[in-house]
Amino acid sequence: MIQAVIPGRETMNLEVLVLDFNGTLALDGQMLESVRDCLISLAPSLEIHILTSDTCGTVIRQCRGLPVQVKVLESREHTQEKADYLDQFGSREIVAIGNGANDQLMLEKAHLGIAVIGFEGASLKALQSADLVVNKIEDGFGLLSATQRLKASLRR
């Protein structure tokens, strides 16, 4: 669990990290090398899930050996499927990170939603649904590793 005390808000006790793959963790289906190290570092503190449409068909191979659970989306309505995936965690607090239009509801539903602009850019819908926006995924992971950054950005 990662705990963040934010003035003017309830204390966050984040237990689950749900991530989009392409555009967030990967470019053209290839996971950024720095992402691997970050996922390994966060795994002792957070249960990590990757949700993806798997546009490039590479997610299983790219995540092999990492402490993550991968879910390739099956429905025609990926936006809703991603949001519904969060229901399985009940009252556990979730941080979600994504960049696409199909991440909108997931970012909105999570206790903490982080939109990543990254190499692909970001959907305006994702940006509007997030609590925070970062330039690159490593910055998003940095918020979780150094929670005083969350405090600085989210305090009221």
Domains along the sequence of the chain with CATH: 2-154 (3.40.50.1000)
Query: For residue 94, which of 48, 126, 141, 38 has the smallest C-alpha distance?
Result: 48
* pTM given for the model: 0.96
Per residue in 86-104, is it b (16+ CB within 10 Å) or e — as a string?
A: beebeeebbbbbbbbebbb
Helix (H/G/I), strand (E/B), else coil: 102: helix
pLDDT at position 156: 87
- Summarised one tens digit per residue, pLDDT across range 60-86 is 999 999 999 999 999 999 999 999 999
Contact 115, 99 (CB under 8 A): yes
Cα separations in angstroms, 62 against 21, 22, 54, 78, 148: 10, 11, 11, 21, 31
pLDDT one-digit tens code per residue, 1-13: 999 999 988 899 9
